[in-house]
Structure 1
Amino acid sequence: MEWLADNLWLAWLALAFIFIAIEASTVDFVFVMLAGGALAGALTAVAGGGPILQVIVAVLVAILLIGVIRPMVKRQFMSSEASGTIGSAALEGRLGRVLETVTPTDGRIKLAGEVWSARVAPGSPACEPGEEVRVVRIDGATVIVTNQPA
């Protein structure tokens, strides 16, 4: 028991790891904030603070992290704006520039800094080099475009 009293920082560190393991399964950003509090308690122990001070620091830091940092992190990760605009879905509706004539069977455009294979949408006329086109949808590695404004 004397060893634990001399190395209380290890107990705080173990508690932080437990909280991080729980966070990995919940992904709610509460337990990672509690782990931050536990790490603050460990630092207080290393600095020579007594057990009561360690608990006070750990609780205050955890409350501060949960009250201030967690809402910002949660807002950033749970933003519907960010979740719907990844991958090919983010390219639909964007404008590109024709590099090689785009027909119903073939063509090339520059879109978001990359060269893409392209086809015109059914019923759309061919698009000539230099023309601005709008992406209607993505079909595999080919963009379907139209020269009609949105």
Structure 2
Amino acid sequence: MWPDLTQYMWIAWLSLALLFVIVELLTLEFTFLMLAAGTLIGGLGTNLFGGPWWFQVLAAAAVSALLLFTIRPLLLRALRRSSRLHPTNVDALYGMPARVTGPFVDGRGFVRLDNGEQWTAEVPDAVGAPELGSRVVVTAVRGATVEVAPATVTPERSSD
């Protein structure tokens, strides 16, 4: 009277694998990718060879666990090894060389950074005002103003 639904298990395995791949695209941690591979290799593979439903579930769980504990750590290690931190935005300005483009009056002037940006600049009280056209280095960023020092001074990063 009722149809045998186990003959349609392959649709369930493909749907589950697709769901895992979609979730993996949102998380990007290789966990759901390993579950999707286990679903396809263990579950769908066993289904295509005619295994019973309980063996399909067992095979999918075993392959997923094997992939999670063997392949995933290797993939994560390779991913993290190749991704060094590169400073961007304001963090990339610390230590950047610049040339003075406007005279410093009362400790404020203008510099053109080596990336081409024009900034308002300040010099610390202990450092004399740099000459027009001289080279300086960014030592701090305070809002829309950079603090500069002569190019011979090593920049110190401040967290203001």
Task: Report the 3-state secondary structure (helix = DSSP H, G, I; strand = E; otherwise coil) of the residue aligned with 1:116.
Answer: strand
User: Aligned residues: percent identity?
Assistant: 18
Task: Give structure 2 stretches of 5+ with no counterpart.
Answer: 155-160
1:31 paired to 2:35: no
| Letter in structure 2 aligned against 1:74 | R
Task: Report the 3-state secondary structure (helix = DSSP H, G, I; strand = E; otherwise coil) of the residue aligned with 2:141.
Answer: strand
Residue 106 of structure 1 is matched in structure 2 by 109
Question: Is contact 1:109-1:118 (8 Å) kept?
Answer: no
Q: 2:121 aligns with which of 94, 97, 118?
A: 118
Deviation, structure 1 residue 76: 4.6
Deviation, structure 1 residue 2: 3.5
Q: 2:145 aligns with which of 122, 142, 145?
A: 142
- 1-side partners of 2:128 and 2:91: how far apart? 24
The size of the alignment, in residue pairs, is: 137
Residue 9 of structure 1 is matched in structure 2 by 14
Task: Give structure 1 stretches of 5+ with no counterpart.
Answer: none
| Letter in structure 2 aligned against 1:72 | A
| Letter in structure 2 aligned against 1:122 | D
Q: 2:89 aligns with which of 87, 90, 94?
A: 87
Q: 2:131 aligns with which of 118, 128, 133?
A: 128
* Structure label with greater radius of gyration: 2
Question: Is contact 2:16-2:36 (8 Å) kept?
Answer: no
Residue 68 of structure 1 is matched in structure 2 by 74
Deviation, structure 1 residue 141: 1.0
- 1-side partners of 2:99 and 2:149: how far apart? 11
Deviation, structure 1 residue 137: 0.7
Instruction: Show CA shifts across 1:14-66 (max 9, x none).
Output: 34445x39x74xx7x25244255257x27x949x95476x8487666656641
Task: Report the 3-state secondary structure (helix = DSSP H, G, I; strand = E; otherwise coil) of the residue aligned with 1:102.
Answer: strand
1:97 paired to 2:99: yes
- 2-side partners of 1:116 and 1:138: how far apart? 10
Instruction: Show CA shifts across 1:56-101 (max 9, x none).
Output: 8766665664143211223455x5xx17x34323322222122222
TM-score (norm 1): 0.64
TM-score (norm 2): 0.61
Check 1:3–1:11 CA distance in 2 against 1; reply closer, same or farther (3 A cut): farther
- 1-side partners of 2:90 and 2:118: how far apart? 14
